[in-house]
């Protein structure tokens, strides 16, 4: 069964609690992987060796991306 | 003429034909003009330049390019023609200028969505983007919508502070280009989670505005009522990168950390966008751009971005959902 938006939203709250103290966390949101909703975890830089983000949270897939430093656009 | 001969001829000419000659020749035709105009003529020197022009394979001529019409029948041309024994290609090319600034970095009257705008800063110049036009309450008065950091200098600009178009970074005049006054903004708070970066400025009386045109994209059709979801195609026109197209890569993003002068601010419920093709969706100066969906419905307000990430590696852009922006400022699209 595809992951619904509601499940992804619930998993996002779990992810925020789980990853809140992750160094360089730059955002947790919702994206799509094919038909499935998924979590998007943004990082300012790659995690130190030995640290990683789970591939699934509450059985919702997780996409991790390094987005660098985000600045106001002016 | 052989190439070497033309080169030799070209090298020999500037010695005999000084810039002063050209200026005098140009001024000669305009003797009746006021002194100020003559002074202006002097500023445009040199009024001609020399080069090599190819007529066919291994057949070359001296190229003389004139920047002033007054030189076309002048002694200068005749001297060059004689020296080249008729093997000369004379053309009027006018003034050669650096590429003009694009429209979105220039003065626009009526005011246009996507053009350069900003506050008057002390000791530095700046520019952001005019997002769109809105109304407040039942009044017919028009307001410019953009970011707090574009119109209100991150909470620091005084109420009724002047807004100029173009922004001072684009040579907007602090006096002659005043178009609006800061009315209100949603405070940016380094100590709490933020939802929007937005402000409005009331248009000065008699300031004309093209309310719905997104030059290069289309006509604004209204306000999107549902939030953008992943995969949605979006467009914007902004002060730095002009028209760009993109795709939503994530939504309902919480904990987005953004660097401001105030410090690092955190935003919830944001939209993430990547640029189409091999381009970014935005760059510095595009802040305040209105983002529309494929149906030309106002969908989001651009405010932040970075240089990393996105499937093309050109970085991602962040925007506030337009519904949250309009609600927070208690305004409606004009």
- Is B272 in contact with A40 (Cβ distance < 8 A)? yes
Task: Give the Cα separation of B158 and B146 in Å (integer).
Answer: 16
Write out pLDDT tens, residues B73-113. 888 888 888 888 888 988 888 776 667 899 999 999 999 99
- The mean pLDDT value for B291-312 works out to 97
Size of interface A-B (CB pairs under 8 A): 114
- Is B230 in contact with A28 (Cβ distance < 8 A)? no
Structure ipTM: 0.97
- Please report the pLDDT score of residue B79 as a whole number: 87
- Is A67 in contact with B308 (Cβ distance < 8 A)? yes
Does B147 touch chain A if contact means CB atoms closer than 8 Å?
yes
Output the CA torsion sign for A63, A69, A71, A73: negative
- Please report the pLDDT score of residue A9 as a whole number: 98
B112, B141 Cβ separation under 8 angstroms: no
Task: Search chain B and give the residue with CA nearest A65.
Answer: B309
Q: Which of B39 and A71 is assigned the larger pLDDT? A: A71
Q: Is the pLDDT of residue B23 over 80?
A: no
- Is the backbone of residue B121 left (phi > 0), alpha (psi -120 to 50) or beta? beta
CA distances A64 to A41, A47, B202, B308, Å, are 5, 10, 42, 13
Does B250 touch chain A if contact means CB atoms closer than 8 Å?
yes
B238 beta partners: B242
- Is A40 in contact with B317 (Cβ distance < 8 A)? no
Tokens of B194: 């933020």
Q: What is the mean pLDDT of chain B?
A: 89
Burial class (CB in 10 A: 0-12, 13-18, 19+), A55: exposed
Write out pLDDT tens, residues B58-74. 788 888 888 888 888 88
Determine the residue among A12, A32, A70, A71 to mutate to test chain B binding: the one whose Cβ has the most chain B Cβ atoms within 10 Å. Answer: A70
- Please report the pLDDT score of residue B36 as a whole number: 36
Write out pLDDT tens, residues B27-49. 333 333 333 333 344 444 567 88
Residue B292 backbone dihedrals phi, psi, to 5 degrees: -115, 155
Task: Search chain A and give the residue with CA nearest B310.
Answer: A67
Q: What is the mean pLDDT of chain A?
A: 96
A36 beta partners: A33
CB neighbour burial string for B45-60, b if at least 16 within 10 angstroms, e if fewer: eebbebeebeeeeeeb
- Please report the pLDDT score of residue B24 as a whole number: 36
Does B306 touch chain A if contact means CB atoms closer than 8 Å?
yes
Beta strand B48-56 pairing with B59-66: antiparallel
Task: Give the Cα separation of B22 and B266 in Å (integer).
Answer: 62
Task: Give the Cα separation of A10 and A37 in Å (integer).
Answer: 12
- Please report the pLDDT score of residue B91 as a whole number: 85
If you write DSSP's letter for every residue of B197-261 in order, what string do you get?
Answer: --EEEEEPTT--EESSEETTTEE--EE--SPP-TT-EEEEEETTTEEEEEEEEEEEEESEEEEET
A29 closest CB neighbour out of B128, B250, B309: B250
A74 closest CB neighbour out of B127, B230, B253: B127
Residues 6+ apart with CB under 8 A from B245: B233, B234, B235, B275, B276, B277, B281
Chain A residues close to B255, C-beta within 8 Å: 16, 25-28
**What's this model's pTM, rounded to 2 decimal places?**
0.78
Task: Give the Cα separation of B46 and B274 in Å (integer).
Answer: 47
- The mean pLDDT value for B193-200 works out to 98
Residue B64 backbone dihedrals phi, psi, to 5 degrees: -120, 120
CA distances A72 to B248, B262, B276, B280, Å, are 19, 11, 21, 15
**Distance from the B172 Cα atom to the nearest Cα atom in chain A, whole angstroms:** 16
- Please report the pLDDT score of residue B19 as a whole number: 45
B91, B79 Cβ separation under 8 angstroms: no
Does B312 touch chain A if contact means CB atoms closer than 8 Å?
no
- Please report the pLDDT score of residue B46 as a whole number: 63
Nearest to B284 by CA among B167, B198, B160: B167
- Is A26 in contact with B257 (Cβ distance < 8 A)? yes
Q: Which B-chain residues 28-87 have CB contacts (< 8 A) with chain A? A: none
Tokens of B240: 């730095």
**Beta-carbon count within 10 A of B309 CB:** 22
Tokens of A63: 């996409």
B163, B103 Cβ separation under 8 angstroms: no
B126 closest CB neighbour out of A40, A66, A74: A74
Write out pLDDT tens, residues B104-153. 999 999 999 999 999 999 889 999 999 999 999 999 999 999 999 999 99
B250 closest CB neighbour out of A25, A30, A44: A30
Task: Give the Cα separation of B97 and B67 in Å (integer).
Answer: 11
- Please report the pLDDT score of residue B8 as a whole number: 85
- Please report the pLDDT score of residue B55 as a whole number: 75
Nearest to B301 by CA among B214, B212, B236: B236
Q: Is the pLDDT of residue B2 over 90?
A: no
Q: Which of B98 and B11 is assigned the larger pLDDT? A: B11
Task: Give the Cα separation of B286 and B278 in Å (integer).
Answer: 18
B306 closest CB neighbour out of A29, A30, A70: A70
Dihedral Cα B76, B77, B80, B84, nearest 10 deg: -170
Nearest to B150 by CA among B119, B192, B176: B119
Write out pLDDT tens, residues B209-261. 999 999 999 999 999 999 999 999 999 999 999 999 999 999 999 999 999 99
Task: Give the Cα separation of B269 and B195 in Å (integer).
Answer: 7
Cα B292 → chain centroid: 20
**Distance from the B248 Cα atom to the nearest Cα atom in chain A, whole angstroms:** 9
- Please report the pLDDT score of residue B97 as a whole number: 67
Which of B86-95, B194-203, B321-330 bottoms out in mean pLDDT, i.e. has the lowest? B86-95
Biggest CA pair distance of chain B:
80
B228: enclosing H helix or E strand: none
B292, B228 Cβ separation under 8 angstroms: no
């Amino acid at each position: 069964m595809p992951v619904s938006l509601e499940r992804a939203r619930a998993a996002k709250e779990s992810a925020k609690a789980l990853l809140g103290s992750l160094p360089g966390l730059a955002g947790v949101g919702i994206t799509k992987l094919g038909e499935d909703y998924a979590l998007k975890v943004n990082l300012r830089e790659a995690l130190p060796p030995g640290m990683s983000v789970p591939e699934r949270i509450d059985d919702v897939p997780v996409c991790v991306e390094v987005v660098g430093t985000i600045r106001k656009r002016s | 003429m052989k190439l070497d001969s033309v080169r030799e001829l070209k090298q020999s000419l500037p010695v005999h034909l000084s810039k002063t000659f050209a200026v005098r020749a140009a001024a000669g035709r305009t003797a009746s003009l006021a002194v100020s105009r003559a002074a202006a003529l002097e500023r445009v020197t040199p009024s001609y330049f020399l080069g090599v022009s190819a007529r066919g394979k291994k057949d070359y001529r001296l190229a003389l390019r004139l920047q002033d019409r007054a030189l076309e029948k002048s002694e200068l041309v005749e001297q060059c023609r004689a020296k080249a024994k008729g093997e000369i290609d004379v053309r009027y090319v006018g003034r050669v200028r650096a590429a003009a600034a694009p429209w979105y970095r220039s003065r626009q009257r009526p005011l246009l969505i996507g053009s350069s705008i900003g506050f008057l800063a002390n000791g530095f110049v700046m520019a952001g983007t005019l997002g769109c036009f809105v109304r407040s309450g039942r009044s017919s008065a028009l307001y410019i919508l953009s970011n707090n950091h574009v119109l209100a200098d991150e909470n620091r600009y005084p109420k009724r502070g002047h807004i100029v178009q173009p922004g001072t970074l684009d040579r907007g005049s602090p006096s002659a280009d005043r178009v609006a006054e800061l009315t209100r903004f949603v405070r940016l708070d380094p100590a709490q989670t933020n939802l929007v970066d937005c402000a409005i400025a009331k248009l000065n009386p008699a300031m004309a505005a093209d309310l719905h045109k997104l030059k290069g994209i289309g006509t604004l059709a209204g306000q999107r009522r549902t939030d953008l979801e992943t995969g949605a195609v979006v467009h914007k026109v902004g002060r730095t990168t002009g028209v760009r197209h993109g795709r939503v890569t994530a939504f309902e993003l919480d904990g987005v950390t953004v660097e401001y002068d105030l410090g690092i601010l955190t935003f919830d419920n944001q939209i993430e966008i990547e640029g189409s093709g091999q381009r970014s969706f935005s760059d510095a100066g595009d802040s305040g751009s209105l983002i529309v969906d494929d149906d030309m419905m106002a969908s989001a307000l651009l405010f932040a971005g970075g240089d990393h990430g996105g499937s093309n590696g050109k970085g991602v852009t962040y925007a506030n959902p337009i519904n949250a922006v309009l609600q927070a400022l208690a305004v409606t699209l004009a």
